[in-house]
Amino acid sequence: MDITRYFDHAATTPLRPEVLAAMAPFWADTFGNPSSLHGFGLRAKEALEQARAVIARAIGARPHELIFTGSGTEANNLAVLGGARRMRRLGKGDHVVISAVEHPSVREAAKALEAEGFRVTQVPVDAYGRVDPEDVRCALTPKTVLVSVMHANNVVGTIQPIAEIAAVVRPTPALFHCDAAQSFGKIPVDVNALGVDLLTLNAHKLGGPKGVAALYVRKGVRLDPLFHGGKQERAMRPATQNVPGIVGFAKAVELALAEQEAERRRLAALRQRLIARLADAIPGFHVNGHPTECLPTHLNIRIDRIEGQALMLELDRLGFATSSGSACSAADHEPSYVLLAMGQSREAALESLRITLGRTTTEESVDALADALIAVARAWRQAANVPFGGD
C-alpha cells in the first residue's frame, strides 16, 4: 500500500521510525517498573521523568502538572468526570457546560454526569462550527463547576477561540478543560496562553504510539480518580506507566515541534491546492468548517447528491484512505452530529467526506486524490443522469 495515499491522519498517524527506535530499548533492556527502587526500576523512572519534562515543556507546563493516561478518551474522561465530581463533592455546584461539537469521549462523559444528577448545558456553534464566547458566558451559572471546549474539531478542523472562552470562565470557580488531541503538534498549544486548567494530549495523532496520552492538570487543581490503586501519577491515575509508549510520545513531540511551522505552511498549501482542484472541477462542491480558523491538516468536503460513505468506499477501492466522519463513530452510518450542530440538513451531513493530511502527504498524492475524486464524482453523476460541468 502507498502510504502517501493515506488521507486519514485525524484518525491516527503512521508511527515515525525515529519514535520506534527511541522506544525499542524499553521493551526489552530497560524494562523495569518505574515504581521499583532497584536499578532496573530507577533507569525506567529516569526515562519516564525525562519524557514528562519534554512533553510538559512543549505546552508551557511544569513536569508535575502532566498526568499520563492510556488514551485521549481516558484523559477526557478523567478531566470531565474527575473534575466535576470533585467540585461537587467540595460543594461547588453540579452544572457542566460543553460545546455541541465535542468529541464523543467528552459528550458521553457529560451524559454519564447527567445520570448522576448533574445538569449539562450544550452551547451551540455557528455554521462554521465555532463557539461564541458570549454563549459560554450566558450558559454559566453560580453552580457551574466545569466547562469543556475542544481546541480544534476532529471532524471539520475548526479552531475554537479558547483564550477568549477562558477569559469568560476564569472569573468563576469553574474548571476549564480543553481537548487538544487534534491540534497538538500541528499548531502552537500553550496552556498559559490558552488559559486552561486541564488539557488533553494524544501521542498517536502526531506520529507517536497508540495507547498513551496525557492530561495537563494545572497546579492546585485536583481530580477524583477514575481508578483506585497505587500512588502513580499523583494518585490521579494509579497504574504502572507505559514507559516505552511515554518515551515514544516524547520523541514524537520533539520531532513535531521542530517541524511544526514548516509543516503547517506545507500542509496548508497542499490543502488549498486540493480545494482549488476540486472546486474548479466539481459542480456542487462545498467545504465544511471555518475558512481561515482551521487546522492545516483537515479538509471536510461535501459534493451534492453523492453520499460521503459511498465516496469513501470507492476511494478506498482506488487505494486512497479517507473518512466519512470521526473514527470513533465510523461504524454508525448516521450523519455527523458536528455537521448537524453547524446547521446542515441530514442529507447534506451524509454527503460529507473527511480528508486529513499529514507528514506523508505529498503534492503528487494530493493531485492523485483530486483526479480520483473528480473521476468518481463524474461517474456518479453520469450514472444518475445528472449533468457534470460542461457535459
Catalytic residues: 328
What's the CA gap between 228 and 339, in Å, rounded?
A: 38
Alpha-carbon 354 to chain mean position: 14
Q: Which residues pair with 339 in a beta bridge?
A: none
Residues with Cβ within 8 Å of 227's Cβ and at least 6 positions away in sequence, in order, are 237, 238, 239
